[in-house]
Amino acid sequence: MVALGLSVFASSAAHATLIDYSDFSSTAGLTLFGAANASIPGVLQLTPSAKLVSGVAYTTNAVALGAGGTFSTQFQFRMSNPGGVGAADGFTFFLAADTANPLKTGGTLGYSSSSAFSLAVEFDTYYNTGTLDINGNHVAIDTKGFLSNLAAAAPYGQTACASVSAGCMANGNIWTANIAYDGLTKQLNVSVLDPAMGVTSQVVNNYFIDIASILGTTNVYTGFTGATGGGWQQQDILSWRLTDTITMPTYSLVFVPEPLSLSLFGAGVAGLILSRRRRAVKG
């Protein structure tokens, strides 16, 4: 098994980096509510794998977006250890003019009934009947504290979420999400990457929405909400960056072996070197 890491180098595009957590060894600058915690080193956990819990993490101070609300953000997430009736329920990335949130659980994703001046992008892994959910594995846009499921789409066309399936957001892989909004054209784009698939899935494409009007400001609180219900899963954020322009600094994705993989890799390299030395002696 491998963990997905980030190798960073500067972009030629001018930008102001508002938020930069390469991991969550420190959560300075964030306010954590409910089940949200940083008890696992380097990880911002929104919910443990437990029934009927919710968590919220957001910037303690408001940040200033670009013209018309322009921003781009990239974060890595992992949803794992499902239980109960199945992997559930999911989490949101949100922007809000204030931090009102009653921390509801279940299919609310911790966002429903939050600030009326807010917008969220949801990453939902459970199909709640009687709601606007389109299936059990989708990304969608929500506004004004309501799970409106605008522009909903299934990553890689995977509409049901078996925990071991490639393209299922609850498969335990470390996914990368990119969200970019142009405040001048008022177009929102969202893409996700499951390393098991190897290619990016564009789930929201140039969706027209006026974020500055919805929020009533471009000085916002931003962060994540997550919740579980009769089904549950552990929901982790592993890194997070946000800028005030449409273009993120360039990040190249690299696979970093976990400790066991590293030892095996090292043994393999050592064997290869020894083999080559033997060949050189024989030659």
pLDDT at residue 68 in the model? 97
pLDDT at residue 223 in the model? 96
pLDDT tens track, the chain, 283 positions: 233 333 333 333 456 899 999 999 999 999 999 999 999 999 999 999 999 999 999 999 999 999 999 999 999 999 999 999 999 999 999 999 998 766 678 889 999 877 889 999 999 999 998 889 999 999 999 999 999 999 999 999 999 987 789 999 999 999 999 999 999 999 999 999 999 999 999 999 999 999 999 999 999 999 999 999 999 999 999 999 999 999 876 554 433 333 333 333 344 434 433 343 333 333 3
pLDDT at residue 29 in the model? 97
CA distance 283 to 281: 5
Cβ atoms of residues 4 and 255 within 8 Å: yes
CA distance 227 to 271: 47
Please spell the DSSP secondary structure of the chain, one letter per residue. -EEEEEEE---SS---EEEEESS-S--TTEEEEET-B--STT-EEEE-S-SS-EEEEEESS-EE-SGGG-EEEEEEEEEEEEEETSS--EEEEEEESS-------GGGTTTTTS-SSEEEEEEE-S--TTSS--SSSEEEEEETTEEEEEEEE-GGG--S--TT-TT-TTSS--EEEEEEEETTTTEEEEEEE-TTT-SEEEEEEEEE--HHHHHS-SEEEEEEEEE-SSEEEEEEEEEEEEESSSSPPPEEEEEEE-HHHHHHHHHHHHHHHHHHHHHHHH-
pLDDT at residue 225 in the model? 95
| Residue bearing tokens 């072996």 | 257
pLDDT at residue 11 in the model? 37
pLDDT at residue 257 in the model? 35
From residue 271, alpha-carbon distances to 138, 258, 267, 274, 277 in Å are 45, 20, 6, 5, 10
pLDDT at residue 103 in the model? 66
Backbone phi, then psi, for 177, in 5-degree steps?
Answer: -115, 140
pLDDT at residue 15 in the model? 65
Q: Which domains does the chain have, with CATH numbers?
A: 2-256 (2.60.120.200)
pLDDT at residue 260 in the model? 35
